[in-house]
Amino acid sequence: MNCERYSEWLGDAVDGALDPAHQAELDAHLRGCTDCRELLSDLMEIRAAAATLDRLTPSPDLWKAIAAHVDASRHASAASPPARVTRPPSWMQLAAAAALVTLLGAAVWFGVSLRSPRTGSESVAELARASSELQLAEQHYLNAIASLEQLTVQKDTTLDPVVAAEIAQSLQSIDRAIDDSRAALKAEPGSFVAQTSLLEALRMKVAVLQETVSLMNARS
């Protein structure tokens, strides 16, 4: 069964943003598609787990890193001749997002490594609660990633070599960001910024793998 059309709707369905007509069509598809039902269940669990976390505010150092990246991109664009605007495929958009996730992961690790240790202003109980919530949310993401990776292995489909290389590079970048965020959390377990960076990197890996499955479905 070709799930590409419907897998793109799952995120909106989880957020309650799908219009009634599309929701009805998706519901009909889900009744006959085990893979999409399982993926939707994983995404709903991730959303529920993420909702239990406090709203986090990135540190000024992290925003400075983002601003520097944006300024560099703007200057590079200004120096280049105008080109015909086309909409890149979704996998290219995910690759660009993965690159930014890598930048944020490195910025988080750099910021935490320069910050002096905490002096005990946060209680052990607070740190334990935050760590428990993070582990719960992280596990939901890891479950979704495992399910998607299993789907990519099971499908007897070969992607275009260029696309496959871009996807592999994006996943490598995301894995580096995950490692950086985990290193930052090891150095400072109570860092809200590092927690947010880790969950964002995991979310992006889910998105890249979901797009990979969609591309495989389109070629099958």
Whole-model pTM: value is: 0.47
How confident is residue 49, by pLDDT bands cut at 50, 70 and 90?
A: low
Mean pLDDT calculated for residue range 213-217: 75
Backbone φ and ψ for 53, nearest 5 degrees, come out as -85, 150
Residue 2, both tokens: 């070709």
Structure confidence at residue 40 (pLDDT): 79
Structure confidence at residue 201 (pLDDT): 82
How confident is residue 102, by pLDDT bands cut at 50, 70 and 90?
A: very low
Backbone φ and ψ for 81, nearest 5 degrees, come out as -65, 150
CB count within 10 Å of CB 146 equals: 12
One-letter identity of residue 120:
G
pLDDT tens digits for range 163-184: 888 888 888 888 888 888 888 8
CB-facing half-sphere around the CA of 176: CA atoms within 13 A? 14
Mean pLDDT calculated for residue range 99-126: 46
Residue 164, both tokens: 């496959």
Percent of the chain with pLDDT over 90: 3
From first CA to last CA, the distance across the chain in angstroms is: 9
pLDDT tens digits for range 122-177: 455 555 665 666 777 777 778 777 877 877 776 656 777 888 888 888 888 888 88
Nearest to 174 by CA among 103, 125, 72: 103
DSSP 67-101: HHHHHHHHHHHHHSPP----PPPHHHHHHHHHHHH
- Domain spans of the chain, in order of start: 57-73+88-219
Nearest to 192 by CA among 145, 136, 122: 122
CB 95, CB 170: distance < 8 Å: yes
Residue 4, both tokens: 């590409």
